[in-house]
A and B are shown apart, each in its own frame.
Chain A
């Protein structure tokens, strides 16, 4: 066994990962542009402000992904003997907490405005000598941010499932929340134009609620990840089938009388311990144990770091 084993994605997955990195750079470019353009057209609409804040937050997951992408591949060393895979989880947690906090802020702010019966003003604007209602410009800019959000989100979700990348998946979810937000903000601005003072704050409240829900879900998932919970599939809907598969294969060996497996997720890969009870008098035990480890690693590229330990008795 090689200690300080460096992890590489298989060629196909590595190509996918490079594509994801490219997509994330596009996402950053898109959100940076959206934040600037929205800031220029930002009126006193609460819903538009909420959409703007969400666009700023939209920069967090892709940045986390790209930052983690620089570290995750580094070989383990004396200081970090478990390697750098966890950098992905830390990035994930940081992004989730930011999401939660700002969602709470949007909810609070729009509730206060709704209760104070504040009426948002939107006046005229002038662009290239053309004079028109600023609301039209706001609606135009918001609508323009919807299409790239949908396309980026879909592409990333597909890759995230294949790569078992939770940061990428959370980012795709965020893109979805983001274009829904923009849609709600358009309705809010239309409401202001129609003289419905509550429409805007209500739209902001709905958006804020959605951001909070997203934040709670991703924070829970990130904390569970750092707590070494049982691996789940990338969207969190069910437990990952790989550990059970591996255990079944191990128990198929006739020299193994019992086995117990404990795995955790570290970024893309699974790491853990396999404890086996060999039949008494088994010959070439060390070799068999080493073969078991090789077998596990060949089963799936996600299976990276596995310690196989023999014991005489298992109590569960």
Chain B
């Protein structure tokens, strides 16, 4: 009995040594030289979904690169995160992107990839200002309606909520680290948050997930920062 189990395991291994791990379904085979169905959700600069025309943003460019590797044609499906995750669960979509956080609560519906990049949100100083070591009572500009407002408040800073950070506030500002070069900001050691970014794929499609992760893990931090900065500029032009 025990020997039988061992032989069975060995046979299973040998049979499938060609592609390992394998998909429960056929996602990787369908996408290769076929169609890649991608759910996108608005989250600039990662993904921007205009009313008309194709989406843009850093992750949209990355999906393009992945599709080129696999000679696949991309179809975009905009929606909210909860809509898209319900669809990816049953393989109606092959991939969902939109600046997803590794702590996203979608593990029942989708499989989140390994985090491929970590982006920090920090307090930075425009030319002519400095950020003191202690933020208590210091006026700091932050985009209104974000979790960063609460994080800043808990540091004791005087929150100046603005609709958009432009770098012309003449105040210390809260920005994602990719905007430092574009806005000519000097970073400070005050880090409000750090987000691990992931993509979502159908659960159990392990060959497909491994292919996506191989692509994502080959990306360097600076390459992603470059794409995010480009996306910010394109957004500003519009």
Could you tell me which A residues sit within 8 Å of B by CB distance? 44, 118-126, 131, 133, 135, 183, 186-187, 190-197
Cβ–Cβ < 8 Å partners of A135 in chain B: 21, 206
Q: How many Å from the CB of B138 to the closest CB on chain A?
A: 39
- Complex CA gap A192/B113 in Å reads 16
* A40 and B13 alpha carbons, distance in the complex (Å): 25
B12/A194 in contact, CB under 8 A: yes
Nearest CB on A from B210, distance (A): 5
Chain B neighbourhood of A118, CB < 8 A? 203-204
Is B217 within 8 A of A195, CB to CB?
no
Q: How far is it, in angstroms, between the C-alpha of A186 and the C-alpha of B10 when the chains are bound?
A: 12
Residue of chain A at shortest CB distance from B10: A190
- B1-15 vs A: 1/0 string, CB under 8 Å? 000010001001101
The complex places the Cα of A186 from the Cα of B205 at a distance, in Å, of 19
Closest to B206 in A: A122
Interface size band for B: 20 to 34
- B217 pairs with A121, CB closer than 8 A: no
Complex: A38 Cα to B20 Cα, angstroms: 22
Q: A193-B16, A197-B204 are in contact. Are A124 and B114 (CB under 8 A)?
A: yes
The 9 closest A-B pairs by CB, nearest first: A119-B204, A121-B111, A195-B22, A193-B21, A124-B213, A197-B24, A121-B203, A123-B209, A119-B24
Total number of residue pairs linking A and B with CB closer than 8 Å: 78
Q: Please give me the residue from chain B that is nearest to A187 by CB atom.
A: B9
**Residues on A with beta carbons closer than 8 Å to the beta carbon of B217:** 124, 126, 131
Interchain CB contact (< 8 A) of B114 among A125, A187, A196? A125
Q: Which residues of B approach A to under 8 Å, CB–CB?
A: 5, 9, 12-13, 15-16, 20-24, 107, 111, 113-114, 201-207, 209-210, 213-214, 217
Q: Once bound together, how far apart are the Cα atoms of A179 and B213, in whole Å?
A: 32
Q: Which residue of A lies closest to B212 (CB)?
A: A123
In Å, the complex CA distance between A40 and B5 comes to 27
**Shortest CB distance A202–B (Å):** 13
- Contact, CB under 8 Å: A124 / B9: no
Q: Which residues of B contact A126 (CB under 8 A)?
A: 114, 217
Would you give the shortest CB distance from B15 to chain A, in whole angstroms?
Answer: 8
Q: Is A190 in contact with B13, judged by CB distance below 8 angstroms?
A: yes
A44 to B5, CA, bound (A): 23
Given contacts A187-B5, A194-B22, A123 and B204 within 8 Å (CB-CB)? no
CA–CA, A124 and B199, complex, Å: 13
Which residues of the partner chain B approach A194 to less than 8 Å between Cβ atoms? 12, 15-16, 21-22
Q: Are A133 and B210 in contact (CB under 8 A)?
A: yes
The closest CB in chain A to the CB of B22 belongs to A195
Q: Which residue of chain B has its CB nearest to the CB of A198?
A: B24
Given the contacts A123-B113, A124-B214, A197-B24, A190 and B206 also touching, CB distance less than 8 Å: no
User: In the assembled complex, which residues on chain B have CB atoms less than 8 Å from the CB atom of A186?
Assistant: 9
23 residue pairs bridging A and B, Cβ less than 8 Å apart:
A44-B107, A118-B204, A119-B205, A120-B204, A121-B111, A121-B201, A121-B205, A121-B209, A122-B206, A122-B209, A124-B114, A131-B217, A133-B20, A133-B21, A135-B21, A186-B9, A190-B9, A192-B206, A193-B22, A193-B206, A195-B16, A195-B204, A195-B207
Cβ-defined partner of B203 (8 Å) among A120, A190, A193: A120
